[in-house]
């Protein structure tokens, strides 16, 4: 019978498989080590721990890349992670570069199309409607909070929404540019840290957090990433932290921004869809009704369609390299 | 030009449709990849600005917006709403 235990893996064997693959891949790429951007979240923490397990702490370099909207605990948790695994790190504050390139100003311009008073002291985030309540299309809403704490919700125009997303994507792209600076300097490869939900559903920025040389946990469901975290000894505070996007000034959960369901239920739905588990069993395992599971499946397939382009490399008229 | 033709023309000119003849009035705009979640916002802006209707959040469903036919039917209903309310 299908249940959340269906996702349980043998952590020891899986760590051995991934670390062996990392060592073999490093040899093939002729890189001497790995650079990992550390966010204080579970995915980058597990990726860092795997890198250390595979190559040794001397060959792993961690980077903290805060900016003005980064949560307060990101650096604290990231530092604890680095200390736990003995990894050398540095802090690269990307805020000034984001300001200089116009990230915040372009975000604010988009927000002001619906909230003209938006400015210093205001906060915002993007949020999706709940998939549990209706079959409403995935039209993202802007949530704005005034300095007095009053929250309002708005529908953006297509152009304002696209500008807001495009401006925000500077953050992920600038982080990747910074990771590659250190990778080039050290002769290392860059680790991408998406889990299976993020990779499958296109929850990444092309040439931003989507860019990397290796993605050691992209095949693992988020639940499995938590299993490995425990096995590898990732600090409990990091394992207990609610996954967030840490991208906008207002705190935002990942399901609110992208997945529509908490990761435990999303994992089960994605596994059920991938493995053709009978709908009734997925419904029982998730505690959702069959109609809702069907809507989640449609949402998963819709996101696969609309984000397929993110996975593509540059198209060529014809192959350039033989074989 | 009737509503369905106006909707079709908007879809074909605003989005990139390599082979317009393959898009029937009944074809799913979402499943064919022509319209994504940002595209839905563009469709709504087109409807609100061109036909002076207001699309409520709970009306943003595939039933109302996922094909040229469905959008046209939705518009028909929206435009007759005031008359229906007035005569009620």
User: Do A179 and A169 share a domain, yes or no?
Assistant: yes
In a domain? residue A143:
yes
Residue A47 has pLDDT above 70, yes or no: yes
Stretch among A13-27, A73-87, A88-102, B27-41 having the lowest mean pLDDT = B27-41
pLDDT for B88: 44
| Predicted TM-score of the model (pTM) | 0.92
User: At A233, is the secondary structure helix, strand, or coil?
Assistant: coil
pLDDT tens across B36-82, in order? 889 999 999 999 999 999 999 889 999 999 999 999 999 999 988 76
Least CB-CB distance to B36: which of A129, A155, A306? A306
- In whole angstroms, give the CA distance from residue B10 to residue A130: 29
User: Do A177 and A134 share a domain, yes or no?
Assistant: no
Q: Considering only CB atoms, which chain B residues are within 8 Å of A302?
A: 30-31
Note the Cα A321 to chain centre separation in Å. Answer: 33
User: Do A46 and A116 share a domain, yes or no?
Assistant: no
The CATH number assigned to the domain holding B33 equals: 1.10.1200.10
Q: Which domain holds residue A111?
A: 103-162
User: Do A216 and A246 share a domain, yes or no?
Assistant: yes
User: Do A171 and A279 share a domain, yes or no?
Assistant: yes
The CATH number assigned to the domain holding A169 equals: 3.40.50.620
pLDDT tens across A122-153, in order? 999 998 877 776 677 878 899 999 999 999 99
What is the number of CB-based contacts under 8 A between chain A and chain B? 48
Residue B87 has pLDDT above 70, yes or no: no
- Using the Cβ of B36 and the Cβ atoms of chain A, whether some distance falls under 8 Å is answered with yes
CA distance B18 to chain A (A): 16
The total number of structural domains in chain B stands at 1
Q: Are B60 and B44 in contact (CB under 8 A)?
A: yes
Q: How many CB atoms are closer than 10 A to CB A83?
A: 11
In a domain? residue A316:
no
Q: Considering only CB atoms, which chain B residues are within 8 Å of A138?
A: 37, 40
The total number of structural domains in chain A stands at 2
Helix axis angle, A222-232 to A263-274, nearest 10°: 120
Q: Please give the ipTM for the structure prediction.
A: 0.85
Q: Considering only CB atoms, which chain A residues are within 8 Å of B63?
A: 135
Query: Which pairs count as long-range contacts for A276-284, CB under 8 Å and 24+ apart, including other chains?
Result: A277/A2, A277/A6, A278/A2, A281/A1, A281/A2, A282/A2, A284/A2
User: Do A118 and A223 share a domain, yes or no?
Assistant: no
User: Do A96 and A183 share a domain, yes or no?
Assistant: yes
In a domain? residue A285:
yes
pLDDT tens across A241-294, in order? 877 767 788 877 766 667 778 889 999 999 999 999 999 999 999 999 999 999
User: Do A192 and A230 share a domain, yes or no?
Assistant: yes
In a domain? residue A312:
no
- Using the Cβ of A137 and the Cβ atoms of chain B, whether some distance falls under 8 Å is answered with yes
Q: Are A38 and A63 in contact (CB under 8 A)?
A: yes
In a domain? residue A322:
no
Q: Which residues contact A238 (CB under 8 A, 6 or more apart)?
A: A40, A41, A42, A45, A77, A80, A81, A229
Note the Cα A121 to chain centre separation in Å. Answer: 27
User: Do A291 and A225 share a domain, yes or no?
Assistant: yes
pLDDT for A257: 64
User: Do A95 and A49 share a domain, yes or no?
Assistant: yes
- In whole angstroms, give the CA distance from residue A288 to residue A283: 5
């Amino acid at each position: 019978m299908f249940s959340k235990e269906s996702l349980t893996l043998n952590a020891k064997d899986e760590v051995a498989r991934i670390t062996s693959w990392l060592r073999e891949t490093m040899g093939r790429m002729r890189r001497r080590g790995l650079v990992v951007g550390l966010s204080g979240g579970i995915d980058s923490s597990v990726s860092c721990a795997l890198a250390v397990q595979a190559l040794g702490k001397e060959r792993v370099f961690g980077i903290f890349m805060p900016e003005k909207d980064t949560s307060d605990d990101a650096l604290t948790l990231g530092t604890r992670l680095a200390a736990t695994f003995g990894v050398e790190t540095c802090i690269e504050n990307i805020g000034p570069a984001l300001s200089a390139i116009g990230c915040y100003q372009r975000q604010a311009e988009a927000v002001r199309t619906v909230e003209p008073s938006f400015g210093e002291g205001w906060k915002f985030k993007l949020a999706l409607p709940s998939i549990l309540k209706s079959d409403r299309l995935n039209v993202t809403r802007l949530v704005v909070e005034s300095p007095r704490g009053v929250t309002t919700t708005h529908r953006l125009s297509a152009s304002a929404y696209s500008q807001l997303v495009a401006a925000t994507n500077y953050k992920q792209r600038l982080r990747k540019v910074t990771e590659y600076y250190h990778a080039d300097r050290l002769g290392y490869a860059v680790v991408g840290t998406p889990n299976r939900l993020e990779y499958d559903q296109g929850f990444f920025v092309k040439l931003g957090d989507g860019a990397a040389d290796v993605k050691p946990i992209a095949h693992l469901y988020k639940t499995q990433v938590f299993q490995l975290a425990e096995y590898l000894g990732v600090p409990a505070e990091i394992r207990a932290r609610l996954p967030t996007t840490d991208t906008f000034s207002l705190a935002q959960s990942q399901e609110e921004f992208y997945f529509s369901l908490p990761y435990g239920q999303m994992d089960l739905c994605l596994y059920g869809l991938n493995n053709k588990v009978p709908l009734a069993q997925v419904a029982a395992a998730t505690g959702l009704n069959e109609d809702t599971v069907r809507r989640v499946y449609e949402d998963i397939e819709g996101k696969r369609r609309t984000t397929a382009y993110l996975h593509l490399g540059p198209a060529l008229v014809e192959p350039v390299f033989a074989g | 030009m009737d509503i369905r033709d106006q909707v079709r023309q908007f879809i074909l000119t605003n989005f990139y449709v390599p082979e317009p003849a393959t898009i029937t009035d009944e074809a799913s705009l979402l499943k064919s990849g022509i319209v994504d979640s940002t595209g839905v916002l563009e469709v709504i802006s087109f409807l609100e600005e061109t036909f002076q209707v207001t699309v409520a959040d709970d009306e943003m469903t595939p039933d109302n917006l996922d094909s040229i036919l469905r959008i046209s039917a939705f518009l028909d209903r929206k435009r007759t709403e005031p008359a229906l309310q007035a005569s009620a």
